[in-house]
Amino acid sequence: MRLLFASPHNYLDQTSGAAISTRESLLALVRAGWDVRVVCGAIFDNPRTTETDHLLKIARKKTPTVFREGATKIDGRKFPWREVDFNDCGIAATVFVTDDALDPNKRPFWFASPSSEVFYRRLGKALDAYNPDVFATYGGDPRIALAAETVRNRGASTAFYLHNLEYRKPELFKSFDSVIVPSEFAKRFYKEKLGIETVAIPPLIDEIKILADSNSREFVSLVNPALEKGRCFFIGIARELGKLRPEIPFLVVDGRAKAKSIGGSPEGRALQNLYWLPTTDEPRDFYKRTRILLVPSLWEEAFGRTAVEGALNSIPVLVSNRGALPEVVGDPRAVLPIPKRFEKYSKLIPTPEEVAPWVELIVKLWDDDALARKLAASEKASVANFSRKIVEEKTLALFENLVNQKAFAFRNAHSPGEPTPS
């Protein structure tokens, strides 16, 4: 069975939870014997990503690559492009690159640029040549839905990975036979808000990459200090702990946002005992040094990948009461309040009273090893439902069902009708 995944967004983007989750799902299909191809662009969540960064990422896979250059004429002008073909652990991948996709100043306008038109023309040729049984994608560009409608009319099934809770237009999903969300919370959300039916399948987590073989238990850690992930709320927590327990160190791990962004406020610059790590393809690099993991998200999380990874490492994880996070960790003791005045991109620094529940529990867990282990064990039991084996089975069942349903419909549409009585 053949699947083609396509998106202007780059599926190797390690700063994008959507990209990480999608790639793991595609690799599960490869392991099950599917023929999987990817055609993607060079849009990254991290605006600082360069083409050199991306090519180095491909080179680290130690796979032969084929480079192509060309130009496509639109309205009398030629628009240059580059493509890189390579084998990614069994996925036949093509990355399409244009200069404006990797220019931070031009990237916000890429979707309305001629370069995006070139991408969709190249995608059309790939669809003609590959003729997939299933077409899958993510991202909010309406033209990807048109591509899905094209292959759907040819007899293929279509699937949309809906990784967050930011979509507001139900018509985007009319071209898809299945819309996949990462949690039961997200399933309820989209049924209530947009009236669409979805399938809840958690992201597939590669435990080999995230499980540490030991833990020095040095830090209270935060991954990806983006505003919506609770950067400023974290600053308030660290500030109060710095007063009460200055010996407790904090580790901030770069994601889409960099640790240095914490220095964007006077309160952040004043923090002591703060350490950082750059973005890594191997999350176990920081989990092996984490004693307590914080996930103080301000926006409605559709899942909570970091929380699951921490729990799988037997690390007590403290989460906000936003989105699917309470559902993921399971234990109500680990779910802490964030006042409603802290909206998605809030730059407000919380008061000591607002962070008091977080500070109190962090101190208890730091000082009481038995309590920390008990909470970690409870959360680990909760995330057992997100184990690789269970999620792979759900993923394979969904895609096999998509192919079988389309084949059944195709046979019925082309079967001879009942004989007409004479």
Q: What is the pLDDT of residue 412?
A: 53
91-to-36, 88, 135, 400 alpha-carbon distances in Å: 5, 5, 14, 18
d(CA 167, CA 145): 14
Three-state SS annotation for the chain: CEEEEEEEECCCCCCCHHHHHHHHHHHHHHHCCCEEEEEEEEECCCCCCCHHHHHHHHHCCCCCEEEEEEEEEECCEEEEEEEEEEEECCEEEEEEECHHHHCCCCHHHHHHCHHHHHHHHHHHHHHHHHCCCEEEECCCCHHHHHHHHHHHHCCCEEEEECCCCCCCCHHHHCCCCEEEECCHHHHHHHHHHCCCCCEECCCCCCHHHHCCCCCCCCEEEEECCCHHHCHHHHHHHHHHHHHHCCCCCEEEECCCCCHHHHHHCHHHHCCCCEEEECCCCCCHHHHCCEEEEEECCCCCCCCCHHHHHHHHCCCCEEEECCCCHHHHHCCHHHEECCCCCCCCCCCCCCCHHHHHHHHHHHHHHHHCHHHHHHHHHHHHHHHHHHCHHHHHHHHHHHHHHHHHHHHHHHHHHHCCCCCCCC
pLDDT of the residue at 420: 37
Q: What is the Cα–Cα distance from 169 to 54, expressed in whole angstroms?
A: 32
* Residue 296: CB atoms within 10 Å: 24
The tens place of each residue's pLDDT in the chain, 422 residues long, gives 999 999 999 998 888 889 999 999 999 999 999 999 999 998 888 777 776 676 667 766 767 888 889 998 888 888 888 898 999 999 999 999 887 777 777 777 888 888 889 899 999 999 999 999 999 999 989 999 999 999 999 999 999 999 999 999 999 999 999 999 999 999 999 999 999 999 999 999 888 889 999 999 999 999 999 999 999 999 999 999 999 999 999 999 998 888 889 998 899 999 998 999 998 888 999 999 999 999 999 999 999 999 999 999 999 999 999 999 999 999 999 999 999 999 999 999 999 999 999 999 999 999 999 999 999 999 999 999 898 899 999 999 999 999 998 755 554 554 555 443 33
- Full-model pTM: 0.88
Query: What residues contact 38, with CB distance under 8 A and at least 6 apart?
Result: 4, 5, 6, 11, 26, 88, 91, 92, 93, 94
For residue 180, which of 319, 63, 51, 21 has the smallest C-alpha distance?
21
Write down the pLDDT at residue 407: 59
Using alpha carbons, list the distances in angstroms from residue 364 to 5, 98, 234, 333, 371.
46, 52, 18, 12, 8
- Give the C-alpha separation, 372 to 366, whole Å: 7
pLDDT value at residue 348: 96
| Predicted local distance difference test score (pLDDT) of residue 99 | 77
Question: What pLDDT score does 60 carry?
Answer: 67
What the chain holds in terms of domains, given with CATH numbers, is 2-200 (3.40.50.2000), 207-385 (3.40.50.2000)
Q: What is the pLDDT of residue 422?
A: 33
